[in-house]
Structures are given as C-alpha cells and as structure tokens.
C-alpha cells in the first residue's frame, strides 16, 4: 500500500501544471453541456486519435450567431500540430487578439473543447458558434453530451458488480437522497473547510441518478486504499441544464 504522504506527493506531480485555457473547475456551468473531442472509446485507449483531428490543421471560423451569414468574430486553431497533450486551443479574434479557448481534461493530458449550447447545425464555444460542418463531425471528431460521456465512463464499472473506487468527486454541493427522487438524507459539500474534496464510490446508476458511498477524507484516490467513512445514498449526475455535477480523476489513482 502506498503511504499517504508519498501518495500526496505523487498526486501533486500528476496534477496539471498548465492552467491556460483551463475552466473554473468548481463551477458546473463552466463545463457546458458537453465536449467536442475524439470518439470516446479511442481517447480512453490512447492519445492517437488527437493526432487525427483534421479540423485542427486549418483555421475554423467562429461566428457571432448560429447562421452562415453571421459576423465571423475569429477563428480557432491548435497552435502547433507537433505538440500534444494538455495544450490549449487558441482563439484568434477578428482584430488579431489571441486568447485561449475553454478546454477540459478528459484523459491523461488529453483535451476537449467545452460546448455550451447546440442546435441542429451549430455548437457554441465560449467565444462563439462553430458550424458542425466546419469541425467535420465524423469518425475522428464527435460532440458528446455529458450524459453520454458518463455513460461511457461508467460502462463496465457497474456491470462488473463492484464500485468504481476512488475516481469520482463532486463539482458542486449536493443533497444526498435515500433513493432517486426520494427523501433527503443530508448533503455533500464540494470542498470541505480544509480544502479537501470528498470522494464518491459509484455503486449504481438509474437515469440521471447515481448511488454513491461517500468518503469524506478526500485525499485523491484515498478510497482505493481504505474503506470509505461516509454514508451511502443517491445524488444527481447532471444539472437540469445538462452540466456535470460530478467528475473523475482523469490521471488515475
């Protein structure tokens, strides 16, 4: 068993050192309604699919509104196709100001563009609208809602008949229920007074609800090494607007 002091030191080294282009990790709405990324089954296996995002090899127009005749407010392009991993997409405005597009880590140093709204033909980033045609949604690039992402993330975990230990944590304070839509049992704080996050051992899922056992110690992935000390109950997986209310440790335990 890894000693807690050693584990904490390792985890500090594992956490992203780059903050540019990152979102507010404590605000569920900052995660949007989904992500623009590789096919999920691929990025779970390796980083290879990120090399195949063909729409990153040339500028993609960003529009002020979701229509073809709208004003182009800028473009996005990965800054260097030779660089990989936790690296921001750049947004170049129409006056040539360069900023960083909102992204989120979805695997070990693998990025995805946060999407805040979609229509039949358009996706909205934090800087404006992308035409789905321009980002070439195909075998190499997909838009996934958070509900779909969690479906992939938990596939096989629950089917194995054992909890997915020590990977999930809350993004917001939540009420803990005795059953989906049932009676409140108490609450889970996103971050405790000493700055720790509780960890959630996922036991079951019913629609937009997950059954969890809470580990209040909150030392990243501690639950993999000790028995959780908190209650078991049900919480919401996503908000009414589709924002995620929990997340997983993308760099493992």
Q: How confident is the model over 97-111, as pLDDT tens digits?
A: 888 888 888 877 677
Indicate whether 16 belongs to any domain. no
- 79 SS3 class: coil
Q: Which domain holds residue 67?
A: 32-148
Of 123, 148, 173, at which residue does a domain stop?
148
Same domain for 163 and 142: no
Same domain for 218 and 174: yes
Instruction: Write down the H helix ranges in the chain.
Output: 4-14, 40-43, 146-154
pLDDT for 101 equals 81
As a whole number, mean pLDDT of residues 58-76 equals 91
Indicate whether 130 belongs to any domain. yes
Same domain for 112 and 168: no
pLDDT confidence bin for 91, thresholds 50/70/90: confident
Q: What is the largest CA-CA distance in the chain?
A: 60
Same domain for 93 and 174: no
Same domain for 210 and 141: no
Indicate whether 218 belongs to any domain. yes
pLDDT confidence bin for 139, thresholds 50/70/90: low
Same domain for 164 and 220: yes
pLDDT at residue 178 tops 70: yes
Same domain for 232 and 170: yes
Same domain for 164 and 75: no
Same domain for 140 and 54: yes
Between the alpha carbon of residue 58 and those of residues 27, 80, 100, 157, 192, the distances in Å are 31, 11, 16, 38, 44
Among candidate residues 85, 188, 68, the one with its CA nearest the CA of residue 129: 68
DSSP string for 119-186: -SSEEE-SS-EEETTTTT-SSS-EEEEHHHHHHHHHTTTTTTTS-EEEEEEESS-EEEESSTT--EEE
pLDDT at residue 236 tops 90: yes
The average confidence (pLDDT) of the chain is 75
Between the alpha carbon of residue 253 and those of residues 143, 165, 216, the distances in Å are 27, 9, 17
Same domain for 50 and 96: yes
The reply to whether the predicted model has a pTM over 0.85 is no
Of 132, 148, 164, at which residue does a domain stop?
148
Indicate whether 48 belongs to any domain. yes
Q: What residues pair up with 201 in beta bridges, in sequence order?
A: 213
Same domain for 181 and 237: yes
Residue with tokens 């958070």: 146
- Number of folded domains that form the chain: 2
Indicate whether 134 belongs to any domain. yes
Same domain for 130 and 67: yes
For residues 22 and 201, the model is more confident at 201
Among candidate residues 209, 204, 199, the one with its CA nearest the CA of residue 236: 209
Indicate whether 77 belongs to any domain. yes
Of 95, 124, 148, at which residue does a domain stop?
148
Indicate whether 15 belongs to any domain. no
Q: How confident is the model over 140-152, as pLDDT tens digits?
A: 678 889 998 888 7
Indicate whether 229 belongs to any domain. yes
């Amino acid at each position: 068993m890894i000693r807690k002091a050693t584990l904490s030191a390792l985890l500090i080294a594992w956490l992203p050192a780059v903050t540019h282009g990152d979102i507010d990790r404590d605000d569920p709405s900052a995660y949007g309604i989904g992500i623009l990324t590789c096919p999920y089954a691929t990025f779970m296996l390796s980083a290879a699919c990120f090399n195949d995002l063909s729409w990153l090899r040339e500028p993609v127009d960003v529009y002020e509104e979701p229509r073809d005749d709208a004003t182009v407010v800028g473009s996005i392009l990965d800054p260097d196709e030779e660089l990989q991993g936790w690296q921001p997409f750049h947004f170049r405005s129409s006056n040539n100001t360069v900023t960083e597009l909102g992204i989120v880590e979805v695997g070990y140093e693998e990025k995805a563009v946060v999407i805040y709204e979609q229509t039949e033909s358009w996706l909205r980033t934090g800087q404006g609208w992308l035409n789905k045609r321009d980002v070439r949604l195909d075998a190499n690039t997909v838009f996934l809602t958070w509900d779909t992402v969690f479906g992939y993330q938990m596939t096989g975990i629950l089917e194995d008949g054992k909890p997915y230990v020590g990977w999930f944590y809350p993004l917001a304070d939540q009420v803990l229920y005795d059953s989906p839509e049932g009676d409140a049992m108490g609450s889970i704080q996103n971050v405790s007074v000493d700055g720790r996050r509780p960890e959630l051992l996922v036991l079951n899922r019913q629609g937009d609800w997950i059954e969890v056992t809470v580990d209040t110690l909150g030392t990243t992935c501690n639950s993999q090494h000790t028995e959780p000390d908190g209650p078991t109950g049900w919480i919401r997986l996503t908000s009414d607007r589709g924002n995620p209310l929990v997340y997983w440790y993308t760099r493992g335990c």
